[in-house]
Amino acid sequence: GENVGLHLPTLSVQEGDNSIINCAYSNSASDYFIWYKQESGKGPQFIIDIRSNMDKRQGQRVTVLLNKTVKHLSLQIAATQPGDSAVYFCAETPPQGAQKLVFGQGTRLTINP
Amino acid sequence: DTAVSQTPKYLVTQMGNDKSIKCEQNLGHDTMYWYKQDSKKFLKIMFSYNNKELIINETVPNRFSPKSPDKAHLNLHINSLELGDSAVYFCASSQEVGTSGRRFFGPGTRLTVL
């Protein structure tokens, strides 16, 4: 079912601090996970992805961690900037296939100056 | 050089009207999608087309009818619009069927039904 969810619907951080956005998923057979960023008035934009055979993947200022034991996914943003303000979604690909990519509810990240 | 484009960006209409939203992608992808995003930002898939063939048809009222004239276009026609249809509709495309399916999203169409 559609059970990709987030622990926190909103998150406020100080500019320059690190941000951690969490996501819980329910399907232990899901094999691919994506984080998207959606800025106001725009469509979701790909940030980073990870396959289930990995537990960590790093990008530019972002890191995704996957804990399959507890079915938990997190997105870490280093040195948060004002431009990071957005809604962040996690999504999982269940065993039914890529067309069934399921999105979580989203977390709104607000950066305080 | 827009990858996935949608028109119109805003659509305001009366209940009962029929309207269409158009989507085009120039990424050469085989699969296109329509998503609906509600006021709480929840993104739910509506339809998926692969090479003009309907792959996914979620529980969507049959007032919604997607049409794919070619693999670069996926339009959404909505008949007899209702208040509950008010939402942001996103078109998306992806490269591979049956694999990861990373989506590329359009800018969205905000539909307001009065």
Burial degree of B100 (CB within 10 A; 0-12, 13-18, 19+) = middle
CB atoms B108 and A49 under 8 Å: no
Q: Tell me the nearest-neighbour CA distance from B81 into chain A, angstroms.
A: 23
- Supply the mean pLDDT for chain A: 89
Q: Is the pLDDT of residue A95 over 90?
A: no
Spatial strand order of the sheet with B73-78 comes to B4-7, B19-25, B73-78, B64-70
Nearest to A98 among B44, B96, B108 (CB): B96
Under the banding of pLDDT at 50, 70 and 90, the label for residue B80 is very high
B18 touches A at CB < 8 Å: no
A79-89 pLDDT, tens digit each: 999 999 999 99
Q: What is the pLDDT of residues A38-65, one digit of tens each?
A: 999 999 999 999 999 999 999 999 999 9
The size of the A-B interface in CB pairs under 8 A is: 67
